[in-house]
Chain A
Amino acid sequence: MNDRPDPHDLHDLLAHATDAIERPHLAGTALREAHRRRVRRRGAAAAFVASAAVVGVVATTLGGSLVADPAPPPQGTPTPTGTPSGTPSPDDGRTGPATWPTFDPRTAPDLPPAPDDLAPALPRVVDPPASAPSVAQDPMPAAVVASVDRDAGLVRLLGTDGRWRTQAVSQETPSAALSPSGTSLVVWDYVAYDASVVDLTTGEDRTVPPPDPAAVGVLEAPNWLWLDDETLTTVGFDRSFVVDADTGTAERAPFDLGGLSSAVDSDGAVMTSAQWTTPNVLTDWAGGEPREVSMERTGRLSYLAADDDGTVAGTSYDGRPFAVVADRRTLTPWALLPVRDRGAAYSNGGLSVLGLAEDDTVLLRVARLGTGDYAGFDVVAFDPGTGEVSLVSSLSSGDAFAAGLLREVAAPPPPDPEPPVADPVEPADVQTAWDPDDVESLPWDDTLGLPRDLSVGVGAAERGAARAVAVADGAVSVLGPAGWYVGAELPDGVGDDATVAIAPDGSRFAVVDGDVLAVSTDDGWTTLPLPRAFSGAGDFYTDLDFVGTDRLLLGEWNRFWEIDVAGGDAVRLPFDVIDEVVPAGGDVLADRYSDTEVNVLERWRDGTATVLGDLSALESTQRPASDGASLVTVRADGGYYGGQPDVTDTDGLLALDLDGLTVRGFLPVPSRASFYSDNANLTPLGFTDPDTVLAEVRPAGSPGTTWLVTWAVGTGEVHRVASFPTDQPRLALALDALGAD
Chain B
Amino acid sequence: MDEREFTEWAGGCERALLRSAYLLTGDLHRAQDLVQEALTKVALRWPRLREGNPTAYARTIIVRDNVSWWRKRRRESVSDDVGRADAAGGAVSTDPDAALVVRRALARLTSSQRAVVVLRHFDDLSERETADALGVSVGTVKSQNAAALARLRTGAPELLDLIGRTR
Which residues in A have some Cβ–Cβ distance to B below 8 Å?
1-7, 9-31, 33-34, 37-38, 41, 418, 421, 423-424, 426, 595-600, 609, 611, 614, 616-617, 619, 638-641
Contact = CB atoms under 8 A, between A and B. Distances in A.
A21 B165 contact: no
B108 A595 contact: yes
Interface in B44-78: 44, 46, 68, 70-71, 74-75
11 contacts: A11-B124, A16-B98, A26-B14, A27-B7, A31-B6, A31-B43, A596-B109, A596-B110, A611-B75, A614-B112, A616-B112
Given A26-B10, A598-B70, A21 B18 contact: yes
Nearest to B149: A641
A739 to B, nearest CB: 38
B7 A421 contact: no
B100 to A, nearest CB: 9
Contacts of A10: 117, 121-122, 163
Among A15, A24, A600, A614, find the residue whose CB has the most chain B CB atoms closer than 10 A: A24
A591 B147 CA distance: 19
Contacts of B150: 638-641
Contacts of A611: 71, 75
B164 A14 contact: no
Interface residues of B toward A: which range? 35 or more
Given A4-B121, A17-B95, A23 B44 contact: no
Given A14-B121, A423-B137, A639-B154, A21 B110 contact: no
Q: In terms of DSSP, what is the predominant structure of the interface of chain B? A: helix
Nearest to B120: A4
A609 B75 CA distance: 9
B120 A27 contact: no
A41 B91 CA distance: 37
Contacts of B83: none
B98 A23 contact: no
A424 B32 contact: no
Contact of B164 (A9, A16, A600, A641): A9
Given A17-B102, A424-B139, A639-B147, A9 B14 contact: no
Given A3-B142, A15-B122, A616-B112, 7 more contacts: A10-B163, A17-B92, A17-B95, A20-B93, A31-B3, A41-B44, A616-B144
Nearest to B97: A17
A424 B6 contact: no
A586 B35 CA distance: 44
A12 B93 CA distance: 13
B10 A30 contact: yes
A617 B14 contact: no
Contacts of B145: 1, 3-4
B143 A1 contact: yes
A13 B109 CA distance: 17
Contacts of A424: 139-140, 142-143
Contacts of A41: 44
Q: Which 4 A-B pairs have the closest CB atoms?
A: A639-B150, A34-B43, A30-B39, A27-B10
Contacts of B110: 596-599, 616
Contact of B11 (A2, A7, A23, A426): A23
Nearest to B11: A27
Nearest to A595: B108
Given A7-B124, A11-B124, A619-B143, A24 B74 contact: no
B30 interface: no
A34 B1 CA distance: 11
B40 A17 contact: no
Contacts of A21: 15, 18-19, 22, 28, 91-93
Contacts of A31: 3, 6-7, 43
Contacts of B28: 21
